[in-house]
Structure 1
């Protein structure tokens, strides 16, 4: 199971939101590249990036800090937020991203997801963000009537690398991840599922790992607040 330290970018800074609310942002580092380098120095094997402004704008906004991060680290990074056309996908992969995450696009233009997954094998993931099991899009600002599991199943044959599943009401709240829903999704599809939202302790990570079916976990606020020690967490994941 892979642990992905998260760097969420808003106005060029590394922040964490509370339940996806942009006005409830806490700035943790003015230098996202330095933050990424610190995660790698502690042993991180992947970095998870989100362009929060881009998710709302529908186009990349925090390109400069993302590029600075890519230059500062020697491990793979994945990015979501504002990636909604093939040109943007190609541009980010050309700049050195290991994987792009398509969220809103997965709902509004699933054909593009399939085309991208075929064009770039292993480099396209789908981000499914949900409230009460229903998918939300556009930086979580718009809710749909689509069930997460139903949408995930439509990509079974698309060749995507992973599904990042976020329970919005758990995100940044330090209340623990929605293990039951994440495990149910992981058992419903053959695509690797990465848990996101609410990881607040080593015990949370241990319980996610104990399911035996969850491929990874993303952690942000818990690492910044010191509730989770990254080196200990990485040792747990590898053990």
Structure 2
């Protein structure tokens, strides 16, 4: 199971939100590229990046820090937030991003996801962010009646590289991930599923790994607060 350290970008800084609330942001580093380099130095094999402003704006806002991270770090990175057309997808992949994460457009324009996955095989993931099993879009500000599992199943034949499943009510709250829901989703589809939201301890990582069906986990606040030691966690997951 791959552990993805998260760098959430707001106004050019590395921050963490609670439950996706932009007014409840804690700044952890003014230099996101330095933060990314520290994660890489600890041994991570991937980075997970989110343009929070972009998620609300519908277009890239924190491009400069993302580009700085891509230049500074030799490991692959995935990015979500504000990626809603083919031109933006192509732009990011041309700049060295390994994987784009399509969230809002997966609900509003699923044909774009399919086209992107065909055009850039292996480089397109779907981000499914849910409250109570229902998908939320546009930086989690818009509630839908779309069922998270139904949405995942709709891309079963699309060739997407992964699904990043976030339980919004767990995100940034250090209360543990929704293992049951994530595991159920992973068993419902053949697409690799990455857990996000609430991953806050070594026990959480161990429990996710023990399911045998979850391909990865994203953690942010716990790494910044020291609740999870990145090097130790990576070692544990490799055993």
Report the TM-score, using the length of structure 1 for normalisation: 1.00
**Aligned residue number for residue 148 of structure 1:** 148
Instruction: Return the alpha-carbon distance in structure 2 between the equivalents of residues 5 and 222 of structure 1.
Output: 10
Task: Show CA shifts across 1:183-213 (max 9, x none).
Answer: 0000000000000000110000000000000
Q: Which residue of 2 aligns with 1:40?
A: 40
Find runs of 4+ consecutive structure 1 residues off by over 3 angstroms: none
For 1:65, the equivalent position in structure 2 comes to 65
Q: Distance in 1 between matches of 2:75 and 2:237?
A: 17
**CA positional deviation for 1:236:** 1.3
Q: Does 1:2 align with 2:21?
A: no
For the residues of structure 1 that align with 2:168 and 2:159, how far apart are their CA atoms? 26
| Structure 2, unpaired ranges of 5+ | none
CA RMSD, aligned part only? 0.3
| Residue 79 in structure 1 maps to residue 75 in structure 2 | no
> Could you tell me which residue of structure 2 aligns to residue 210 of structure 1?
210
Residues 17-36 of structure 1 aligned to structure 2 (within 5 Å):
17-36=17-36
List per-residue Cα deviations over 1:43-62 (Å, max 9, x = no partner).
00000000000000000000
5+ unaligned residues in a row in structure 1: which ranges?
none
Q: Tell me by how many angstroms 1:30 deviates.
A: 0.1
Within 5 A, what are the aligned runs for 1:78-157? 78-157=78-157
Map of 1:169 onto structure 2:
169
Distance 1:3 1:143 in 2: 28
Secondary structure of 2:200's counterpart equals coil
Aligned to 1:52: 52
- Using the size of structure 2 for normalisation, the TM-score is 1.00
